[in-house]
Amino acid sequence: MKNVIVIGGGFAGLRFIETLDDKKFSVLLIDKLNHHQFQPLFYQVATSQLEPSSISFPLRKVLQNRKNLQIRMADVEAVDPKLKTIQTSIGPFPYDYLVIATGCSTNFFGNADLEKHAFGLKSTYDAITIRNTILQSFEDFLTVDDSEKEHLLNLVIAGAGPTGVELAGAFAEIKRNILPKDFPNIDFRHFNIHLLEGSAHTLNAMSDEAKEASEKYLKELGVKVQTSVFVKSYDGKLVTLSTGETIKSRHVIWAAGVKGNLIAGIPDGSVFHHNRYIVDRYNQIKETEGIFAVGDVALMETPKYPKGHPQVANVAINQAANLARNLKAWQEKREPKEFEYQDLGSMATVGKHKAVVDLPFVKFKGYFAWFVWMFLHLMLILSVRNKIIIFINWAWTYVTKDTSLRLILTSDKKSEEVPVS
């Protein structure tokens, strides 16, 4: 029985394990967390619409029916392709096949000040930190000097892809319906949500209809949308844009790019820009043998996608499933199947009742699109319990225009946020 090590329990790692024939392979899953995180709904945790536990799933529970599977919590430090071992914080492990499904993290493009002062949104911890900080800022507003108040009333979101658009829409909804009730002494007409985008449109990777509709919906919600503009610098208090304009803000959320999470030991020639491993049509990393990368960290060039596939969950899931079937095919001396991505479409929600949906055969927007978005995301949630909890939360918010999840969770040590899942 061949020994397979999987690094990462995200969408790709889980789908690979669930698809792999557990009678022919033994699997060791290594992750620094003990739970899977449902990334598409991080923004709802950040905006107090969902609790972290609603979108977090213990790996041992999810995979408890799998045979020949072990799970270890550890940091993977390096790979030794010659010895076919990996070095971790709890010791070395040998492998016959290695599957790297480490996903990606926020890319600040080498800007140290941005990395120090801005928030990313690539983990449950990031989402809780944003929630804590934004809620705390309104508590602070009641007592700070007038000179500091403007900094607290400007929220800047850099990047108008799906994450940025959904964040901006969600914050605009709570600004309109919730915060004025919680803080009647604050005039939220002066609370500004700035959405900045370097390209010419919001949701630039989607259809023209989606671009136009998303910008229209955001402006109707009161979001200040600026396109063809970049963040030049940010020192924790002042955002300087490529146009020379400045915005006073204590809160900048960076949703303008990602980079793959690499592991030491893989040949340098196998890494492309933005930290993605160059893989062949079977997801094997260039210049290696028996080492594969799937999902966001993999760059596969195909005739349909000469610059690589989009870094979305559907690509990761399908690559992982195809690789699992190919490992079995190789074991049985059968011909493996090259990966070919069938794009099923993309979507984004904008506030409470609006969304845009691009499917291969039709494009639509508005109220119906919002229902489609909700249904499909509920179907992707792993457990029935969490599906019910999320549905009840959404239904309650829909009826009452309110949530009861606006908790500031901190430790006894000042300013140290405690991640809760």
Question: What is the per-residue pLDDT across 119-143, written as a single tens digit (0 to 9) for each?
Answer: 999 999 999 999 999 999 999 999 9
Q: Does position 65 have pLDDT exceeding 60, yes or no?
A: yes
Where does 112-255 sit in CATH, by number? 3.50.50.60
Q: What is the pLDDT of residues 239-251, one digit of tens each?
A: 999 999 999 999 9
Instruction: Give the residue-averaged pLDDT of 208-232.
Output: 96
Chain segment 138-157, per-residue pLDDT in tens: 999 999 998 899 999 999 99
- The model's confidence at residue 399, banded by pLDDT at 50, 70 and 90, is confident
Per-residue pLDDT of 329-386, as tens digits, reads 999 999 999 999 999 899 999 988 899 999 989 999 999 999 999 999 999 898 888 9
Instruction: Report the pLDDT averaged over residues 10-38.
Output: 96
Average pLDDT of the residues of the chain: 92
Lowest-pLDDT range of 42-56, 338-352, 389-403 = 389-403
- Separation CA 101–CA 319 (nearest Å): 10
Mean pLDDT (whole number) for 101-122: 94
Q: What is the pLDDT of residue 411?
A: 63
Percent of the chain residues topping a pLDDT of 70: 97
Looking at the chain, which residues constitute the CATH 3.50.50.60 domain(s)? 2-32+74-106+258-331, 112-255
pLDDT for residue 166 is more than 50: yes
161-175, 303-317, 385-399: which range is least confident on average?
385-399
CATH architecture of 2-32+74-106+258-331: 3-Layer(bba) Sandwich (3.50)
- pTM of the entire structure? 0.91
| Per-residue pLDDT reduced to its tens digit, 243-291 | 999 999 999 999 998 999 999 999 999 999 889 999 999 999 999 999 9
pLDDT tens track for 77-90: 999 999 999 999 99
Q: State the pLDDT at residue 418.
A: 45
pLDDT score at 412? 55
Q: What local confidence, expressed as pLDDT, does residue 421 receive?
A: 41
Alpha carbons 220 and 382: distance in angstroms, whole number? 34
**Is the pLDDT confidence value at 312 over 70?**
yes
